[in-house]
Structure 1
Amino acid sequence: MKINKLNKRLDILVQFNKRPHIIIECKPPKIPITQKTFDQISIYNKIMKAPFLMISNGIKNFIFQVDKYKKKFSFLKHIP
């Protein structure tokens, strides 16, 4: 996908009924998950419009649901 004229790629995209369902951003265990990581997956999702997002470095996992109308995230305990 292109973002600001740059080619970007998703780590994992799970589809349901041929539509984006979950975008998963994977980082190595030594890389901490920061606000920059959340910003990165949010930018990807502006294009893909998946209802669920996940970020993992193998140690910490964050799963959240996107409320596109309120433009906010709700953190979840489990993958939907």
Structure 2
Amino acid sequence: MSAIEVLQSVFVAWVFYGIFGGLIILVLCGAITGIIIGKKYSGSKHNKNKMIILWSSVISAIPVFLLSVLDFIIGPW
């Protein structure tokens, strides 16, 4: 395998993981969870901002975990 082929494979993996696991899915999970939790704790005596950060982090960890085991799910490239 030449250096060009290796760089092409690295670039494809970088784009794939970046689009499907990195940016889009994490932003959507964090935003949707933030909106839902913000509405849920709007009248509560709990600190709303802490709850939004906590739950957005917890929910966004799910796609990160799925992305980390993606090779076992769909097989090697």
- TM norm. shorter chain > 0.5: no
Larger Cα-atom Rg = 2
Query: Which structure exhibits the higher relative contact order, with contacts defined as CA atoms closer than 8 Å and separated by 6 or more residues?
Result: 2
- What's the TM-score once normalised by structure 2's chain length? 0.24
- What's the TM-score once normalised by structure 1's chain length? 0.23
Higher helix share: 2
Higher strand share: 1
